[in-house]
Structure formats: C-alpha cells, structure tokens
A and B are shown apart, each in its own frame.
Chain A
Amino acid sequence: MIGSLVRLELTMLRRDRRAWWSLIALAVLVLLSFAAIAGDNARSDADKRAVAAAERERWVGQGEKDPHSAAHYSIFAFKPSPALAGLDPGSEPFVGQSVWLEAHHQNDMLYRPQQNASLLQRIGFASPAALITGFGPLIVFLLAFTLVAQDRERGTMRLALGAAVHPRLIVGSKALAVWSAAAGLLVLPVAVISLLSLGIGGRLGGDVLLRTLCWALAMAGYLALLAAVGIAVSLRAGNARLALAGLFGLWILFALALPRVASGVVDAVRPLPSSQAIRQQMAEQAPAFWSDEQNARNRAALLKRSGVRRIEDIPNLRMAELDLMERHSHAVFDRVLGGFYGKVASQDELFAALGFLSPTIAAQASSSSVSGSDFSHHRHFIDTAERYRRNLVNAMNADGMAHRAHGTERHTNDARLWSRIPEFAYSAPPLGALSSTALPAFAALLFWLGIAGFLLVRISRRLRP
C-alpha cells in the first residue's frame, strides 16, 4: 500500500519538472565532482607509487656511507589517498601528501592537493559530500514544498484528508517519496560507482565496503531527517509562501550559518597555537646544537648507560651522542607536536559535538570520519610515518654504535644494511579504530532523525485541511 503511494508521489515529483530537474542537476554535479576527485586521486596515487619505488631504489642504492649520514640521506614517505576520498576528501586537500623522513626532525608534510585544485573544486563544488550536505537541504526542501505546500495551496490536501484512513499515510508517503528520490539520486549512484571504481582499482576490501555503507547510511539518514523537516514545515506553515520562506531560512541556518558559527566557536573555545610557536618550542626543547653544560650532562648519561668510566671506552661516542639527541627529540616531538595534534583532534571532536546544533554539521563530521579523510586519519598516517622514521634512524644509529670508531674515524655500511630497512607501507586504520569524532557526529545525526521523526508524527496527528 505505502509502496504504491510512494510510487505515485514520485510520479508527481517527476512530472513537476522544476523540483525534479533541480534534483537531477545536483545529482549530476555529485557524480562529476566524484569523477574529478577520484580521477585526480588515482593519478596522484599512481605518481606516489612510482616515486616511492624510485625513492626505495635511491635509498638502497645510496652507496657506502656512515649510517647516520644515511639517516640524513633518508627517504620520502607518501600518503595514499583514503579509499573514500572521492566521496569526501575531508581535510585531504589541505594537508600534505608526503613527508621527508630524516634524522633529528619530524618534518611538516609537503604538497597539498588544494594547490592543484580543479576548476570544479575552485568554484566550490568540492565533493559529493560537500554538495549533499550543503545543497542537499535546499533540494530536499524544494521537493517537500512541491509535494506538500503546493498541495495545501491547491486544496488537494482537503480531498486527501477526506479520503485517508489516517493522515500519517499521507505524511509518511510524502516523506518517503522525498527521501527515496533524494537518496536514490544523490547518494546511491555515487556510492555504487565509488565501490565499482574501488573494485576495479583493487582496493575493495571489507573495511572499504563497510565504510561506504556507513557513509551512504549517514548521507541517507541526513536526507531522511531533512525530508521529515521539510514535510513538517510545509504542513505547519500557514501558506505556501510562508512554507517556502521558512524552508529557505532553515537551509541558510543549517547549511550556511551554523557551520560557520560552530567553526568560530571551536576556534574561540579551543584555539590552536600558531605553527611559528610550535617550531619555536621544538627548537628550544630539541636544539640542533647543545650547550657545553648540556653536553657535559649528556656525556655523563652516556657513561652511565654504557656502564663505563671513560669516554674513550664508549665504542662510538659520536653515534652514541647522536642517538641520545635523537631519542631526546622523540620525547620533545611527542610532547610538543603530540599536544598540538591533540588540540586539533579536540577541535574536530567539539565541532562534531556541535552537530547537535545543526544536522549539516553532524553530516559533515560523520562523512569525513567514515570516509577516512578527517584529521584523526591524517594523524594516523603522521604517527605511522614518524614511527617508521624513528625505527630507521634508530637502526642506523644502532649500527653505528655497534662499531668502534673514535675521533674522525667513521664506521660505514652499505646496501646490506639499507635493504634491511623495510619499505614504508601504509594502511589506513579500520573503521571504528578512530571513533572519537564519528561517535558524537553519528549521535547528533540520530538525535536529529529522532527530532524530525517526532515532528512529523506530531504534525500528522494534528493535520487539518
């Protein structure tokens, strides 16, 4: 029964060309933006793989040298695009894609895709998720207005209410029609195409499948709550003009105003230090050159660690000092950069929690989180690359410390050591491993779904012609 009603409501929507073509236009934009981003990512990933292979050859073929020099010679690590970046690139365009892994430094990541943004991205049609969360409400409200407010204005609602065994049948079928049209054209095709392209590219695993399903559910849930709100407002408004004004106002509030307000609140409540301040702290706490007093303390610590009384009895003093400096810097990086990254993460968590203010915020936060393109996933790469760097440098220093060399003597090694260092490989964490942002965002989406459903039920009970 309800299926047949929804089918007829969809027929009405299709034949009212204004609303339907607006939906089709947005659906085409969603697919175009996906194609643009997925294409860019595929090319970029292929480039990264090629350069990473060349980097490995350069590392292994660097010739005979002092292992600490090899640690400085080092290697680039490349971040593969998240599998679902075509659906929601999140912070990807604004964070670097590769990092130079060298001794003593946890370097900033380089190359931001935004530098090479396509025309589509530059004019704001950034991604499927951005289009759905930003323009989805406008289109869904237009569909709801077409099915409900115009019905009431025309007088069709009076006939429907006279005929219906229960008003919720009218309201439910209209809400389902709006939702199925929006989700069926805006979410389903791009999710299926994304899965197909990932399958063709050999990246379709269980986690990717689950993430795509969660993304589609989050977006479909978002559109469902918008459909319910759109129908409820259209039913509640005194006339069609008021309904249109109310819905347009809600779109501005949900999708444009509140996300900006939330961003401002987050910056005010949890401000980030400047990158200059972070660099300054690291330079002060992990300097490139130690003072004489610190050198003396370091040597005392080395004597204790080596269990000898004289500096000359340490097999390779230079390497031991470099190793000490390196390990000291690790603690500094963990404290300074870790604290900074923690603040960025807490900003994301607060922004997601502000999803209780606007469903658009909740949808944006949940989308980038399940797509693996939010900051928590980026940090996972940074941490993985940093662990690799530390292991590499520690291995180089350990080799040096294991071989006696005094004064200007240098222990050297060659490809036999270099090739023992495994190639850098990165796998994104499974869904659920990084849920600090996703949980409040999904909770907010569910909250909004509940509110919208409650509104719809309440209004359908009080429905009058």
Chain B
Amino acid sequence: MPALRLDSVSIAFNGDRAVADLSLTLAPGEVYALLGPNGAGKTTTLNMILGFLKPDLGSIHVGGIDAVAEPLAARARIAYLPESVMLHPGLTATENLSYFALLAGRRIDAATARRLLADAGLQDDAHDRRAHGFSKGMRQKVGVAIALAKEARLLLLDEPTSGLDASAANDLSQVIRSASDRRIAVLMATHDLFRVKDVAHRLGILHAGRLVEERDAASIGPVELERLYLERLAA
C-alpha cells in the first residue's frame, strides 16, 4: 500500500487555479521532492494532504485512509514540519517536544526527548533552554524532533532548508535519509534544487499548480536538473 496517493487533485481559490489535476504516489521509505517557485502550489498541496484545505476535485489517500473524508484519521499518520517552525517561546526545547508529542498522542520521557533532539541535531546545552532565543535552525531542529516523535509513516516537509545554514541543512539531510531507512515516506516541498538531489529518490516540478515534470533523482545530474527546472518554468 502506498504511503501517499494523490489522484487528479485540483483546487482553486476565487476561480484562480492553485493546483490542477495533480497525481503522485509515494511508496514507504521513498523521498519525493516537490520543486517549484513561490506560488507554484507546493504548500497548498501539503495543506490538502493535511486536511487544512479540501480539494475541489480528486482524492487523497494517506496509508489507505481517505484524507478528504477523514482528515483527522489521515493526519494522525502524518508528521509535518512547516517552513518556519514556531515554538512556544516560554517552554524549553524538551518541553516543546513533550507538548507537541502529547498533542500527537505520544507521551515521551525526558531521556527519549533528549535522544530525539540529539538525533535532530540540536546541541545538548540547548535542550533545557527556553525557545524564545532560538535561531531558525534550532527551531527547525526541534520541529524535526517533534515530527520524529510522532512516529508517523509519512513526513511532510515544507521548505525545510529555507533559511538554514549549510551545517543545519546537512543535519536535516541526515535526518531525512535516516527516516527513509526506517521506511518513512517523505514528501518535501522545496525550491532548493541542490539539496534535494542529495536526499530525494524522485523529483517533481510543479508550475502554476500543474506537475510539469517527474524524474528519478538518480537519473539526472545537478546541472541538468537546474536547466530542466528553468526550462519548465519558462514554458
């Protein structure tokens, strides 16, 4: 059973097409990078998978569950990392992790929280610090730990490397590979062409709401990918 299947999904806002006839399937452990410029429909696609938006047409299944008819049941199987992870500034990193894990129905002890934060790349001395002073990279790492704590079979990442330095982006790549090794499917919306080449198994280019190109990541080099991306956007 695929971890995620979208069949001819379309949505429009006030008559403007945001996503049109989008179909894609992710197998367990597969990492799929949805590429596209701002406004291409990447985040809208994620919002539909999460049940925050209802598609006008088409169907979405998460682990076999109809995400349109049962958005909450589908969301229970999804871990989600937004573009900008905003934590509760008054809580420490471990408290934030405990809080969001509890919302996800998981009670985690302090040792597990520290391990998850360390796995996400957050330095030890930040675990018990309040989040109000955290950089974007640190918040992103806590967000990754929150996503991992949910132990979901599908990980949705919205522009995960946006604003991260090279080291933090590299840590995130490691996390994605590790998730993939544990047969967690990963759908990442991004316009970071070079980073995704490292981690994705498949790439899709979304332009004006349509999936205009789909390739195996291994079959295309970075220079060719950039050329293809620019060509598709210009078309």
Contacts and interface: CB of A to CB of B under 8 A. Distances in A.
Interface in B64-96: 72, 75-76, 78-82, 84-91, 95
A15 B52 contact: no
Contact of A163 (B52, B95, B107, B150): B150
Contacts of B78: 162
B134 interface: no
Interface string A301-312: 000000000000
Given A158-B82, A163-B150, A465-B52, A11 B103 contact: no
A160 B75 contact: no
B102 A159 contact: no
A165 B70 CA distance: 12
Interface residues of B, number: 33
B106 to A, nearest CB: 9
Chain A contact residues (Cβ within 8 angstroms of B): what range? 20 to 34
A55 B86 CA distance: 73
Contacts of A155: 82, 84, 86
Contacts of A164: 75, 103-104
Interface majority SS on B: helix, strand, loop or mixed? Answer: mixed
Nearest to B84: A155
B177 to A, nearest CB: 22
A159 B52 contact: no
B82 A159 contact: yes
Contacts of B95: 8, 11
Contacts of B103: 5, 160, 163-165, 169-170
Nearest to A162: B80
B102 A5 contact: yes
B91 A8 contact: yes
A4 B86 contact: no
Interface in A136-174: 151, 154-156, 158-167, 169-170
Contact of A5 (B99, B130, B156): B99
B175 interface: no
A167 B81 CA distance: 17
B146 interface: yes
A164 B77 CA distance: 10
Contacts of A162: 50, 75, 78-82, 156
Nearest to A157: B86
A155 to B, nearest CB: 4
A464 B95 CA distance: 24
Contact of A156 (B81, B87, B150): B87
A158 B104 contact: no
Contacts of B105: 1, 165
A16 interface: yes
A22 to B, nearest CB: 16
A296 interface: no
A331 interface: no
Contacts of A8: 91, 95, 98-99, 102
B143 interface: yes
Interface string A161-205: 111111101100000000000000000000000000000000000
Among A11, A14, A16, A159, chain B packs the most CB atoms within 10 A around the CB of: A159
Interface in A1-54: 1, 4-5, 8, 11-12, 14-16
Contact of B72 (A11, A166, A170): A166
B90 A16 contact: yes
A160 B100 contact: yes
A169 B99 CA distance: 11
A8 B103 CA distance: 11
Contacts of B79: 162-163
A11 B143 CA distance: 20
A160 B147 CA distance: 11
A165 B99 contact: no
A154 B90 CA distance: 13
A160 B80 CA distance: 10
A12 B98 CA distance: 13
Nearest to A153: B86
Contacts of A1: 102, 105, 107
Nearest to B146: A163
Contacts of B99: 5, 8
A155 B86 CA distance: 6
Contact of B100 (A15, A163, A464): A163
A154 B72 CA distance: 23
Nearest to B132: A15
Interface in B93-142: 95, 98-105, 107, 130
Contacts of A169: 103
A193 B102 CA distance: 36
Nearest to A151: B88
A1 B82 CA distance: 24
Contacts of A465: 52
Interface in B140-158: 143, 146, 150, 156
Contact of B130 (A14, A15, A163): A15
Contacts of B52: 161, 464-465
A154 B80 contact: no
A159 B72 contact: no
B234 to A, nearest CB: 33
Nearest to A146: B90
A251 B76 CA distance: 38
A23 B59 CA distance: 49
Contacts of A5: 99, 102-103
Nearest to B73: A165
Nearest to B149: A163
A151 B102 CA distance: 17
A156 B78 CA distance: 17
B93 to A, nearest CB: 13
Given A5-B99, A8-B98, A8-B99, A163 B90 contact: no
Given A16-B90, A158-B82, A167-B72, 5 more contacts: A15-B90, A161-B52, A165-B75, A165-B76, A170-B103
21 contacts: A1-B102, A4-B98, A5-B99, A8-B91, A8-B95, A8-B102, A15-B90, A15-B91, A156-B88, A160-B100, A162-B78, A162-B80, A163-B79, A163-B103, A163-B104, A165-B72, A165-B76, A167-B72, A169-B103, A170-B103, A465-B52
Closest 5 CB pairs of A and B: A162-B80, A15-B90, A155-B86, A164-B103, A163-B100
Interface of A: 1, 4-5, 8, 11-12, 14-16, 151, 154-156, 158-167, 169-170, 464-465
